[in-house]
């Protein structure tokens, strides 16, 4: 039975600021709903005593510092840490105290000195994260809402720009096992749709954790929750695009799936497409790779109803390059099976270059690399998330995730 006993959480929601413009009251409901979901045995399965909730007057600078210190003191290297912040974020572009800031409820912006003394600077927050020994850390920001911070009449007051830049998230992600998820790009606002129970981003985040996201092995993994909510947010509101910044070696679990009761097999996903195949498999047709593809990967995919195009089914009398090109064009995805032999193979490299170029032309993600044997692929493949088939403990889960993805239509690169 999977569990989240070694998981820690911090949930912050600030709407009613003492000295700067308020945010919509829905910010408090967002934070409360995230907290309730985390500690629910029927959902995420965090232990209540390990999840801290700070709302409005509770979310002072001192309280935020203490909450982060608590996590640093009690978590271990193999812990999971989940931090959710819905509040004002701001940046000072010029002057002695230029930089990014999280704004607690008692932030004072009447001068540069008072801002620096009462807010949480980007440097301080970065150091607080570095003090946490856990190597599975997720920080979620819903910090760019409509409505400015507000400026006092004092001519000496700093000019604070609403929102946090993406460069700030790049800094925070540095360190092993870090994922930063933000509700919108730095040039956008985070919206609340009319009559909605939650803000747009948090509503889809909640729905994902309530069973919408894939839950292979009884857990929801960080990349799967982003894959679920990102297209839904952008389809609901074209001017808001969630972003993800990550430095991770594994797609680690962040919550239980329905209390850990995930189905063993994923149900078929009904999609309408014009592709002849779901997947073309690119691999080195020699030795171990050939055996693994034909006796392990291919039978499993076809047992799940996946339409597979593979080289030994190419028509006779047709040039190989022509068949490869057609296979890639007629397939929703190209799966490349990585191994040292694959890296050295000229035809295999040709196949994945074709698939990657076609994806760029169409602005869609159509290339899925999987690691059958430890190797170092070229940079263009390393920037993609690799499904690791070398880990026996994760093999079944990753096969299920592969089937799930192959049942979906390719996502848009610009979404």
The string of DSSP letters for 238-306 reads TT---EEEEE-SS--EEEESGGG---SSPPPP------SEEEEEE---SHHHHHHIIIIIHHHHHHTT-
What range does the domain containing 138 cover? 7-260
Q: Do 80 and 197 fall within a single domain?
A: yes
User: Residue 194: what pLDDT?
Assistant: 84
User: Residue 29: what pLDDT?
Assistant: 97
User: Residue 346: what pLDDT?
Assistant: 62
Q: Do 116 and 255 fall within a single domain?
A: yes
Q: Do 255 and 285 fall within a single domain?
A: no
CATH of the domain at 308: 3.40.50.10140
Sorted by sequence, the CB contacts under 8 Å of residue 270 that are 6+ apart come out as none
Determine the Cα–Cα distance for residues 406 and 368; give it in Å rounded to an integer. 9
User: Residue 169: what pLDDT?
Assistant: 81
405 falls in which pLDDT band (50, 70, 90)? confident
Q: Does 268 map to a domain?
A: no
342 falls in which pLDDT band (50, 70, 90)? confident
Q: Do 107 and 238 fall within a single domain?
A: yes
Q: Do 126 and 53 fall within a single domain?
A: yes
Residues 174-182 have a mean pLDDT of 86
Listed residue (213, 354, 329) closest to 279, CA to CA? 329
Least confident among 11-25, 197-211, 221-235, 371-385: 371-385
CATH of the domain at 158: 3.40.50.1460
Last residue of a domain, one of 233, 260, 287: 260
Instruction: For the chain, give the percent of residues with pLDDT over 70.
Output: 83
Note the pLDDT tens digit of each residue in 287-338: 789 999 999 999 999 998 899 999 999 999 988 888 888 888 899 998 989 8
Is residue 200 predicted with pLDDT exceeding 50? yes
Q: How many Cα atoms occupy the beta-carbon half-sphere of 353 within 13 Å?
A: 10
Q: Does 56 map to a domain?
A: yes
Q: Do 256 and 318 fall within a single domain?
A: no
Determine the Cα–Cα distance for residues 17 and 59; give it in Å rounded to an integer. 10
Q: Does 327 map to a domain?
A: yes
Mean pLDDT (the chain, rounded): 84
User: What one-character DSSP code corresponds to residue 410?
Assistant: P
Is residue 145 predicted with pLDDT exceeding 80? no
Q: Do 255 and 296 fall within a single domain?
A: no
C-alpha dihedral over 385, 388, 394, 398, to 10 degrees? 60
- Residue 75: CB atoms within 10 A of its CB come to 21
Q: Does 2 map to a domain?
A: no
Residues 215-232 have a mean pLDDT of 86
Last residue of a domain, one of 260, 292, 307: 260
Q: Do 245 and 317 fall within a single domain?
A: no
Q: Do 397 and 255 fall within a single domain?
A: no
Q: Does 413 map to a domain?
A: no
User: Residue 166: what pLDDT?
Assistant: 74
C-alpha dihedral over 107, 109, 115, 118, to 10 degrees? -20
Q: Do 118 and 194 fall within a single domain?
A: yes
Residues 339-345 have a mean pLDDT of 83
148 falls in which pLDDT band (50, 70, 90)? very low
Q: Do 226 and 354 fall within a single domain?
A: no
User: Residue 147: what pLDDT?
Assistant: 42
Q: Do 134 and 193 fall within a single domain?
A: yes
C-alpha separations of 41 from 47, 80, 98, 136 in Å: 8, 17, 44, 21
Q: Does 269 map to a domain?
A: no
149 falls in which pLDDT band (50, 70, 90)? very low
Last residue of a domain, one of 193, 225, 260: 260
Q: Does 49 map to a domain?
A: yes
Is residue 286 predicted with pLDDT exceeding 90? no
**Token pair 């979404």: residue:** 415
Note the pLDDT tens digit of each residue in 90-138: 788 777 888 889 999 999 988 878 988 999 999 999 999 999 999 999 9
Note the pLDDT tens digit of each residue in 27-77: 999 999 999 999 999 999 999 999 999 999 999 999 999 999 999 999 999
Please spell the DSSP secondary structure of 331-379, one letter per residue.
EEEEEEEE-HHHHH-HHHHHHHHHHHHHHHHHTB--EEEEESS-----H
- Domain count of the fold of the chain: 2
185 falls in which pLDDT band (50, 70, 90)? confident
Determine the Cα–Cα distance for residues 122 and 108; give it in Å rounded to an integer. 16
User: Residue 155: what pLDDT?
Assistant: 38
Q: Does 270 map to a domain?
A: no
């Amino acid at each position: 039975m999977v569990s989240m006993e070694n998981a820690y959480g911090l949930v912050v929601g600030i709407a009613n600021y003492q000295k700067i413009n308020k945010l919509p009251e829905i910010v408090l409901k967002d934070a409360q709903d995230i907290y309730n979901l985390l500690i629910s045995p029927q959902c995420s399965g965090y232990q209540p005593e390990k999840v801290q909730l700070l709302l409005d007057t509770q979310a002072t600078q001192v309280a935020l510092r203490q909450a982060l210190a608590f996590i640093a003191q009690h978590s271990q290297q193999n812990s999971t840490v989940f931090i959710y912040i819905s509040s004002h974020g701001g940046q000072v572009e010029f002057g002695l105290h230029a930089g990014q800031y999280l704004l607690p409820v008692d932030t004072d912006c009447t001068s540069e000195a008072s801002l620096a003394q009462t807010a949480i600077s980007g440097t301080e927050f970065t150091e607080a994260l570095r003090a946490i020994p856990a190597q599975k850390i997720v920080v979620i920001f819903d910090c760019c809402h409509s409505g400015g911070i507000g400026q006092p009449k004092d001519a000496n007051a700093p000019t604070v720009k609403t929102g946090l830049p993406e460069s700030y998230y790049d800094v925070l992600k540095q360190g092993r096992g870090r994922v930063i998820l933000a509700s919108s790009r730095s040039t956008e606002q985070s919206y609340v749709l009319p009559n909605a129970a939650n803000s747009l981003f948090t509503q889809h985040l909640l729905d994902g954790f309530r069973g919408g996201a894939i839950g292979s092995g009884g857990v929801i993994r960080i990349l799967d929750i982003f894959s679920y909510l990102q297209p839904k947010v952008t389809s609901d509101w074209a001017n808001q695009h969630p972003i993800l910044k990550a430095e991770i070696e594994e797609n680690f679990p962040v919550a239980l799936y329905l209390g850990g009761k995930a189905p063993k097999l994923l149900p078929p996903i009904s999609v309408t497409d014009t592709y002849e195949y779901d997947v073309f498999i690119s691999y080195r047709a020699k030795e171990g790779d050939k055996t693994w593809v034909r006796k392990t990967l291919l039978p499993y995919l076809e047992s799940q109803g996946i339409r597979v195009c593979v080289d030994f089914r190419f028509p006779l009398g047709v040039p190989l390059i022509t068949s490869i090109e057609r296979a890639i064009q007629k397939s929703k995805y190209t799966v490349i099976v990585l191994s040292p032999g694959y890296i050295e193979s000229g035809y295999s490299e040709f196949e994945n270059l074709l698939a990657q170029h076609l994806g760029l032309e169409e602005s869609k993600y159509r290339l899925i690399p999987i690691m059958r044997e430890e190797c170092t692929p070229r940079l263009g493949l390393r920037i993609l998330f690799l499904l690791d088939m070398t880990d026996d403990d994760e093999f079944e889960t990753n096969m299920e995730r592969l089937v799930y993805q192959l049942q979906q239509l390719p996502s848009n690169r610009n979404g």
